[in-house]
């Protein structure tokens, strides 16, 4: 019996109670949300993970992605990145290696964190086919399902699986006349190439019932991948993207009926004026399933600063109803992220999630406390309330004021100090 089965049967579990306490909700609220498919709590029978709730009515969660590439395979760095992601406040972790020993890297990463860990089994299946047969398009269909089961047994809590790319979607992509920025999903590119080369339907779509059996057996939460997501803002909200969403929305209903917890992924590059429409369409079409927004990047001209670009998009996405956002690091589009990139990506995404929750969930308690602490020049309280206390302390210490009550931005001309000496504005 899985968590969704428990919820549908009205059985409260420890995970539901832990999430309820963390979110300030009743356990019954969490149970009803899971039973209706609006909330998920990824878990695995093979390892302990810190329970985290993702979905409607809860705080927006942040995922950090790590993993090797064909150019850089450094397992110790990936372990350090996993630990940094958790230390920086990420809620989940995706291990997306495309180089090295996939299962050994996954084992090391899983052992290094208590976060729920996600994966994309398709990467493993295709790259192993390249190594064995010389080309990913020669991959046997069964390898997709073998990789899925192997990674599930390794303690993977949730998986991004590219089920929605079927022959209709590929034809839709052709009919619309292509794209300005192509397809930026590795999984999507792999699968489209395989389908066109072999003249076959996507096995993950064709044999979706079999896939559900594997996920159900190992209690893996299904994240319906956005394989046709746009790689440029000019391609956002096009017909191919919406076609894939229609397919994934239908598959989400099927997964829910089979007892598999489900998340639906959204696009990655969206201009700011299309974010609200994307979130509302996604939520409407999927019956309020948890919505996982990848970024989104709201302009394509800022390599080196794409974590900031994504924070703009993520804050709006969260405010409009997205439940789960994937961080973007400063290295996006340029290089494999290092440990510091992971730290910056996670903290920036957490800020964006909080900004969105201030609107979506009307959660402004922390900001109210910070306003009062600044008014009263209570520096230690300000540090404790900060999203990154260590950095805040370091900046202040590096330019210490003569008067410990103020900072060197204003010094003796501190507005807070002047007002406090002349009138009591406390409330």
Domains of the chain: 57-360 (3.20.20.540), 365-422 (no CATH)
Cα distance between residue 74 and residue 10, in whole Å: 46
In the block, tokens 């979110």 appear at: 23
User: How far apart, in whole angstroms, are the C-alpha atoms of residue 416 and residue 401?
Assistant: 15
Number of C-beta neighbours around residue 224 at 10 A: 26
**β-bridge mates for residue 262, sequence order:** 222
E strands, 184-340, in order: 221-224, 262-265, 291-294, 324-326
Evaluate if residue 159 carries a pLDDT over 90.
Answer: yes
Q: Reply yes or no on whether the pLDDT at 348 is more than 90.
A: yes
Question: Which of 124, 53, 115, 131 has the alpha carbon at shortest distance from 290?
Answer: 53
The kind and range of the H/E element at 354 are helix 339-360
Map residue 193 onto helix, strand or coil. Answer: helix
Interval 217-244 mean pLDDT: 95
Mean pLDDT of the region 76-91: 98
Rg of the chain over all Cα atoms, to the nearest angstrom: 23
174 pLDDT band, cuts 50/70/90, is very high
Model confidence band, residue 420 (pLDDT cutoffs 50, 70, 90): confident
pLDDT of 128 above 90: yes
Whether the CB-CB separation of 172 and 239 falls below 8 Å is answered with yes
Whether omega for the bond prior to residue 61 falls within 30 degrees of 0, making it cis, is no
As to burial, measured by CB atoms within 10 angstroms (0-12 exposed, 13-18 middle, 19+ buried), residue 177 is: exposed
Q: Can you list the positions of beta strands (E) in 74-213?
A: 92-95, 116-119, 158-161
pLDDT band at 264 (very low <50, low <70, confident <90, very high): very high
What does the pLDDT read at residue 344? 98
Q: Is the pLDDT of residue 314 over 90?
A: yes
Beta strands in 241-371 (DSSP E): 262-265, 291-294, 324-326
pLDDT level of residue 111 (50, 70, 90 thresholds): very high
- CA contacts within 13 A on the Cβ side of 237: 15
Cα-based angle 371, 372, 377 (whole degrees, multiple of 5)? 100
Measured CA to CA in angstroms, residue 15 lies from 6, 12, 20, 30, 382 at distances of 11, 8, 8, 10, 32
The residue-averaged pLDDT of 235-245 equals: 96
Residues 6+ apart with CB under 8 A from 306: 297, 328, 329, 330, 332, 333
Handedness of CA 398, 404, 409, 411 (dihedral sign): negative
Strands 262-265 and 291-294: parallel
The reported pTM is 0.96
Residue of 184, 181, 186, 188 whose CA lies nearest to 204: 188
Reduce the DSSP state of residue 313 to 3 states and report it: helix
**Taking all residues of the chain, what is their mean pLDDT, rounded to a whole number?**
96
Would you state the pLDDT for residue 71? 97
């Amino acid at each position: 019996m899985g968590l969704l089965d428990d919820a549908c049967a009205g059985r409260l579990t420890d995970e539901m109670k832990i999430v309820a306490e963390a979110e300030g909700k009743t356990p019954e609220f969490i149970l009803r949300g899971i039973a209706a498919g609006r909330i998920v709590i990824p878990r695995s029978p093979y390892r302990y993970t810190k329970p985290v709730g993702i979905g409607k009515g809860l705080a927006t969660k942040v995922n950090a992605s790590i993993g090797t590439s064909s150019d850089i395979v450094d397992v110790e760095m990936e372990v350090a990145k996993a630990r940094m992601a958790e230390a920086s406040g990420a809620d989940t972790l995706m291990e997306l290696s495309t180089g090295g020993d996939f299962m050994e890297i996954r084992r090391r990463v899983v052992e290094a964190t208590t976060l729920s860990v996600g994966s994309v089994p398709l990467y493993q299946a295709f790259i192993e086919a390249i190594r064995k047969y010389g080309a990913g398009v020669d991959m046997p269909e069964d390898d997709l399902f073998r990789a899925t089961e192997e990674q599930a047994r390794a303690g993977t809590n949730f998986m991004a699986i590219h089920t929605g790319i079927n022959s209709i979607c590929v034809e839709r992509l052709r009919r619309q006349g292509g794209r300005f920025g192509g397809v930026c999903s590795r999984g999507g590119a792999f699968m489209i190439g395989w389908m066109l080369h072999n003249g076959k339907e996507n096995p993950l779509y064709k044999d979706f019932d079999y896939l559900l059996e594997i996920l159900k057996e190992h209690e893996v939460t299904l994240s319906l991948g956005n394989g046709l997501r746009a790689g440029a803002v000019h391609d956002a909200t096009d017909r191919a993207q919406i076609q894939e969403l229609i397919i994934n929305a239908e598959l989400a209903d099927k997964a829910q009926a089979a007892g598999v917890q489900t998340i639906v992924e959204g696009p990655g590059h969206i201009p700011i004026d299309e974010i609200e429409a994307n979130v509302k369409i996604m939520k409407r079409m999927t019956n309020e399933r948890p919505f996982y927004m990848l970024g989104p990047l709201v302009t394509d001209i800022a390599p080196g600063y794409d974590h900031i670009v994504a924070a703009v998009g993520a804050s709006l996405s969260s405010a409009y109803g997205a439940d789960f956002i994937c961080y973007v690091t400063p290295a996006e589009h340029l290089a494999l992220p290092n440990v510091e990139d992971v730290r910056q990506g996670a903290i920036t995404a957490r800020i964006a999630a909080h900004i969105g929750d201030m609107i979506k969930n009307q959660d402004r308690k922390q900001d109210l406390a910070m306003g009062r602490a600044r008014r009263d020049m209570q520096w230690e309280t300000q540090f404790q309330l900060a999203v990154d206390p260590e950095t805040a302390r370091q900046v202040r210490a590096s330019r210490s004021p003569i008067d410990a009550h103020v900072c060197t931005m204003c010094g003796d001309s501190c507005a807070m100090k002047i007002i406090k000496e002349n009138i009591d504005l406390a409330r």
